[in-house]
Amino acid sequence: MSRTIYSAAVDLGATSGRVILGRWAKNRLTLTEVRRFPNAFRSLGGHDYWELGTLWHEVQEGLRQAVAALPRGATLASVGVDVWGVDYALVDDTGRLVFPVHAYRDARTQPGLKRLANTRAALDRIYAATGIPNVFYNTSLQLEEVVARCPAITDLASRCLFLPDYFNFLLSGRMENEFTVASTSQLIDVHSTGWSRAALDHFRIPAQWFTPPVLSGTKLGRLKKEIAGASAALAKTQIIAVPGHDTAAAYDAMPAAPDGSDLYISSGTWSLVGFESDRPVLGAAALAARISNERIGDGRYRPLTNVIGLWMLEGTLKDFASRPTNDREWAALITAAEKLPAPAAPLDMAFAEFGNPASMKAAIDAQLRRRKLPRPKTLAGYVRLICESLGKGHADAMRAFEQMAGKKFRRILIVGGGSKNRILCQATANASGLPVVSFALEGTAVGNLASQLISLGAVKDLATFRRHLAADLKQTIFTPRA
């Protein structure tokens, strides 16, 4: 028997969000983007905050538009939410926010970052316990700072919900910590699916703020009555805890070879380069290469490295008055960048310089000046330099994985915004010596929907979903050039 199922993916990224209606019929998924909106953190008095009220408004509007896009008489079976990692909301028993929601690029974690970096024994212990390296955005460092700065918070807050958990709570009324997003925190035990007592104690974070993580695909209950209103299409809508971390969702959507020979890149604001594994990649060399053993929704591992990503391009564009505003202008910019000679040397894409500079172009220029390298003369020159540098970063990450996990990759699969950027794809192929397969695929939304369809019993498992997906995907292959 074949039935048609409609589900909605709420997919929130650091620079834009969308609500996508998925239609599953005859083993085919079709997507309709019903709402897209910009997102940004805002600075107030020297700190950076997300505008959660605005995001929640957009989510509700998006769901209304999803319902409006349904054929007559159809209902919305389920909703899933995925968001960027690490950020969280501290709430009381009733779910009321008791602390402003900071954005992960806020500089408040810098002292903690340096402290841990300079305490070798603690750094090694935390990496051995959690499999997550010391990175400025980790939830561990963020919560350490809050507890140290505002000790009363341990009484005020009774729960720490990661952002997808918080939206799931607003939609369903149920508070749970979903496993994939919890694994970005540096607080999950790398050898189990529970919290790491060693990490919680080290950062002085109250263990009672968390409950045992639920694996992806857990049904949280029906959409709350006040949100469903009188809509018959929403009366029985299930809220499903999909992979709450957007990168975990994007990795789930990879139409990968079942033998594990593909390396994955989810390319957006960040470039997340990694693979799927039954085992974590640990040890001193892994820590030095900043390998992050984030988790798959079923409990397994997705060791990955975070390369700074298109954030550098997004930032640089802001420094140019004449920047592309539509697809045609983008195409012209990419073509102009392609025609330029390759840059003399790639940038060293250190987080410290490029994580959150006042001007990205000025930060790039400063590094070039320091290294006595020529500065690009045009926006196209910066585009070329950034894409070539990212390609090199992707290839370096690949080699580190091959060495440490004793693997040989045969292809690189790329999804997300960057998969549409041919300079980036070609640069990655050239630097790695591997074919890069770019898919016309909204990876995060597709992985989000896949988890819902599996949870609803419409698809047997992820392997089956990937098989169906691969059967009708458009792909472009970039072969390495010398």
Which residues here bind ligand LFR, judged by CB under 6 A?
13-14, 84-86, 104, 137, 245-247, 268-270, 272, 306
Smallest gap from Cβ 14 to ligand LFR, in A, equals: 6
**188 secondary structure, DSSP code:** B
Smallest gap from Cβ 184 to ligand LFR, in A, equals: 6
**Torsion sign over Cα 196, 201, 202, 203:** positive
Phi-psi region of 200 (alpha: psi -120 to 50; beta: other; left: phi over 0): alpha
Looking at beta carbons only, is 11 or 176 nearer to ligand LFR?
A: 11
Looking at beta carbons only, is 13 or 62 nearer to ligand LFR?
A: 13
Q: What are phi and psi of 99, to 5 degrees?
A: -150, 140
Residue 25 parent element (H or E): strand 16-25
Report whether 448 contacts 465 (CB < 8 A): no
Count other C-beta atoms under 10 Å from residue 14's C-beta. 21
Smallest gap from Cβ 272 to ligand LFR, in A, equals: 5
CA atoms within 13 A on the CB side of 159: 20
Q: What is the CA radius of gyration of the chain?
A: 22
Residue tagged active-site, from 11, 82, 246, 396 = 246
Report whether 245 contacts 82 (CB < 8 A): yes
Looking at beta carbons only, is 17 or 255 nearer to ligand LFR?
A: 17
**Helix, strand, coil content of the chain in percent (nearest 5):** 40, 20, 40
Smallest gap from Cβ 86 to ligand LFR, in A, equals: 4
Looking at beta carbons only, is 136 or 409 nearer to ligand LFR?
A: 136
Looking at beta carbons only, is 183 or 389 nearer to ligand LFR?
A: 183
Residue nearest to ligand LFR (CB): 85
Count other C-beta atoms under 10 Å from residue 362's C-beta. 11
Looking at beta carbons only, is 70 or 450 nearer to ligand LFR?
A: 450
Report whether 406 contacts 261 (CB < 8 A): no
Q: What are phi and psi of 478, to 5 degrees?
A: -105, 115
Smallest gap from Cβ 412 to ligand LFR, in A, equals: 17
Smallest gap from Cβ 246 to ligand LFR, in A, equals: 5
Instruction: Locate the DSSP E strands across 142-274.
Output: 159-162, 218-222, 238-241, 262-267, 271-274
**105 secondary structure, DSSP code:** T
Question: Residue 93 catalytic?
Answer: no
- Classify strands 271-274 and 262-267 as parallel, antiparallel or unpaired: antiparallel
Nearest-angstrom CA–CA distance, 35 and 32? 9
Smallest gap from Cβ 309 to ligand LFR, in A, equals: 8
Q: So which residues are the catalytic ones? A: 246
